Amino acid sequence: MTDHQLKELLDQMTLEEKTGQLVQLATPFFEGASDRGQITGPMQDMGISDEDIKKAGSVLGASGASEIKNIQKKHLENHRLSIPLLIMSDIVHGFKTIFPVPLAIGCSWDVELAEQSSAIAAKEAAVSGVHVSFAPMVDLSRDPRWGRVMESTGEDPFLNSTFARAFVRGFQGNLESDNYKVAACVKHFAAYGAPEGGRDYNTVDMSEWMLRESYLPAYKAALDEGCEMVMTAFNILNGIPSTGNKALMRDLLREEWGFDGVLISDWGAVKELLPHGVAANEKEAAEQALKAGVDIEMMTSCYVNHISELIEEGKLTEDLVDEAVLRILTLKKKLGLFENPYRDADEEAEKEFILSAEHRAAARNLASKSIVLLKNEDVLPLKKEKIALIGPFSNSTDILGPWSWAGAPEDTITLDQGMKNHVTEDQLLISNGCEIETGTEEQLQEAVEKAKQADTIVLAIGEHSDMSGEAGSRAEITIPKVQVDLLKKIKALGKPVVAVLFNGRPLDVKEIIENADAVVEAWYPGTEGGNALADILFGEVNPSAKLSMSFPYSIGQVPVYYNNYNTGRPKDAPDAQVRYVSQYLDNPNEALFPFGYGLSYSNFEYSEPVLSSETITKEEPLRVRLNVKNTSDTAGEETVQLYVRDLVGQVVRPLKELKDFKKIYLEARETRQIEFTISEEQLRYHHADMEYKSDAGEFEVFVGGNSRDVQSKKFNLSD
């Protein structure tokens, strides 16, 4: 289909058919769906008729080639102009082969593997009939109370942007010519990751400067990579709900950034303009959202029920509707749906690709690179002696994490299964010890008895996956008390204890660190999680992951992030007073584990950085050289990180900002020379008037294996 034909199609459409394109409803609403259940009720409540459904433009949440083909076939038969449906789903960290949660992927710092993970997710989803994935979620996250931090790659704008690009490349490839690709939808625009108090959906209020400096870059990076769609956010931003925010969407996203793809509301967010208190009724909500630039309304019926009335009353023009419809039709055209409405949906390909050995191997590899070693007092790797595996996650399949709705427990490798591949049955004693939030004396006693018979204890503890994710905010971010008590009881036996943590956010882990000899942050590692963990625990894979989000010392410090600003009274200044400095009286200022932190079974030693010159110019970048030596007898991977500080800016500058990183593999005792370059472009920032430029003057460059333990040198940027 040509662009001209697309316009002709638009000309043939009635207003009702156009409005239909702006509607997205869940699978059970559609004829041909395998489970239509009690859909009649919800349809009536929403004021949606069978005729409306026949004109709808897209489906949410469908999966499975045969069901989707049925829905599409029925729809084409019912639609006067045979306009195919777009099928959209949340394919966030894998489809049926589940990869680690995105926060864990962030900890891999492995951009290629991240791209591979979304390419595999796209392939499995595409053969199952999906056209659009509601991912990547790139909301910058600094508050671990917010349950959705597990969906983002963390707290750093540069790292998040790098991953945003990688995920988009993996999902989309060349959408128009490649097979097994899906369109990506970056979300949630904007700043959904900064709700007050970490409570989901809550108020966001932030300066334009902060927004542009820290929160917007990752969305922009996804769009620069060609991301086809954007989803709005639930939160208000500076007083106006994102979903009705014209300044955010028409002015910034469309005008300034030139985005001409499809903008979809988040689930029910158009109608939520009512409880937000900016629209008196659904008609006003429809008017605001469409004027603000929202093309598709997800799961509510303000558009379908009110657009024609709004046009009759002269409150909306049909041009605005045409513009939105054309964008949706253009995406359908790009996906080739007018020629082949089923695209890659194929039952045979489903059997061949889904959960294939290749996909599982990729999931295992990425999981092992996402698991962060937080502490190790000579306990790991495990020796193949008698091991007690204790705790509610010992044999739990709840290790896929939120947004793994297509992943099945029976396909999941649990920790005990993974460990059984390394030791004999009688070397491994297994006991749950307690449930996640409750426990009995009997369970505890059984665990203690098993632990007594072992040489080393592996304690698998954590959060239930419902304790994070959407609507999974927590005010107390510790491991539930019953599990901490279990750890203490086991520790009292005086044997080495390795704690393996399963959770969706940085937790307050002080008590765990105090009581365990080694601590492994497994996050939710996905389908192959048990194998990946066993690989790490037994030393077949050397841990290499580094935190992409700081672990707070206590909840009272939150938000605590590495790229913060100085105050006028820094605690560590040479002339700092005892009291009147920026500090807590009862806590350190620093995180317990900083951004970029993670141990290995190797030891890496960094030389001082050497600069190519003291002064750099706009034309001549700076070269920063250093040597990294593996001083151990174990080969391993290290992520060498480079940070910069602008010492005097027109506005304040972060104490450190990640500018680059390199992952290197070093054989035992090997030394490698690393070279980074820093160009003037990397030193730019938003000034008070939002101009993005650099300032001449003094800078500091830092290199190291995490954001805290660094060596630094100063340099100048000349005019």
Which residues are tagged catalytic?
266
Three-state secondary-structure class, residue 196:
helix
Residue nearest ligand NOJ by beta-carbon distance: 134
Those residues whose C-beta lies under 8 Å from the C-beta of residue 573, and which sit 6 or more positions away, are: 581
26 binds ligand NOJ (CB under 6 A): no
Do 274 and 303 form a contact (C-beta atoms < 8 A)? no
Q: At what angle do helices 357-370 and 529-537 cross, to 10 degrees?
A: 50
In sequence order, the 6+-apart residues with CB closer than 8 A to the CB of 210 are none
Shortest distance, position 242 Cβ to ligand NOJ, whole Å: 11
- Shortest distance in whole angstroms from residue 308 CB to ligand NOJ: 27
Smallest gap, in angstroms, from Cβ of residue 54 to ligand NOJ?
23
391: region left, alpha or beta (phi > 0 left; psi from -120 to 50 alpha): left
Which residue from 227, 264, 240, 224 is spatially nearest to 88, judged by alpha carbons? 264
* Residue number with CB closer to ligand NOJ (131 or 187): 187
Examine residue 470 and tell whether it contacts ligand NOJ (CB under 6 A).
yes
Binding mask of the shown chain, residues 490 to 529, with x at each position contacting ligand NOJ by CB under 6 A: ----------------------------------------
What's the closest the beta carbon of residue 233 comes to ligand NOJ, in angstroms? Answer: 8
Q: Please report the sign of the dihedral spanned by the C-alpha atoms of residue 559, residue 563, residue 567, residue 569.
A: positive
**Residue with smaller CB distance to ligand NOJ, 225 or 266:** 266
Residue 85: closest CA among 130, 121, 136: 130
Which DSSP category does 378 fall into? Answer: S
**Three-state secondary structure call for residue 497:** strand
Check binding of 17 to ligand NOJ (CB under 6 A).
Answer: no
CA pair distance 379, 651, nearest whole angstrom: 47
Output the six-digit token pair for 136: 């990547």
Q: Which residue has the tokens 């992520």?
A: 639
Closer residue to ligand NOJ in complex, CB, 35/319: 35
Binding-site member from 267, 502, 523, 676 for ligand NOJ (CB under 6 A): 267
Rounded-to-integer distance, Cα 497 and Cα 455, Å: 9
- Give the interface size with ligand NOJ as a residue count (CB under 6 A): 6
Q: What part of residues 644-663 is at the interface with ligand NOJ (CB under 6 A)?
A: none
- Give the residue from 260, 52, 91, 299 showing the smallest Cα distance to 181: 91
Smallest gap from residue 90 Cβ to ligand NOJ (A) = 5
Cβ proximity to ligand NOJ, 132 vs 541, nearer residue: 132
| Contact assessment for residue 520 and residue 500, using Cβ atoms and an 8 Å cutoff | yes
Q: Which is nearer to ligand NOJ, 185 or 516 (CB)?
A: 185
Nearer to ligand NOJ (CB atom), residue 184 or residue 290: 184
Using the 8-state DSSP alphabet, how is residue 254 labeled? I
**699 in Cβ contact with 645 (< 8 Å):** yes
Q: Which of 139, 225, 266, 282 binds ligand NOJ (CB under 6 A)?
A: 266
Of the pair 470, 485, the CB lying nearest ligand NOJ is at: 470
Tokens encoding 210? 């902060």
Residue by residue, DSSP assigns 295-344 as: -BEES--HHHHHHHHHHHTTSS-HHHHHHHHHHHHHHHHHTTTTT-TTTT
x/- track of binding to ligand NOJ for residues 52-91 (CB under 6 A):
--------------------------------------x-
Residue ranges in 85-104 that form contacts with ligand NOJ under rule CB under 6 A:
90
Say how far apart CA 616 and CA 697 lie, in whole Å.
Answer: 10
Closer residue to ligand NOJ in complex, CB, 470/670: 470
Residues pairing with 685 in the sheet: 693
Question: Residue 59 or 674: which CB sits closer to ligand NOJ?
Answer: 59
Please state, in angstroms and rounded to a whole number, the distance separating the CA atoms of residues 29 and 574: 67
297 binds ligand NOJ (CB under 6 A): no
Question: Residue 585 CB, nearest distance to ligand NOJ (Å)?
Answer: 39
- For the record, the structure tokens of 545 come out as 């992951």
Minimum separation from the CB atom of position 302 to ligand NOJ (A): 17
Told to check if 187 binds ligand NOJ by CB under 6 A, we report yes
Residue 266 CB, nearest approach to ligand NOJ (Å)? 5
In the list 30, 134, 597, 699, the residue contacting ligand NOJ (rule: CB under 6 A) is: 134
Least gap, CB of 267 to ligand NOJ (angstroms): 4
Residues found near ligand NOJ in the complex (CB under 6 A): 90, 134, 187, 266-267, 470
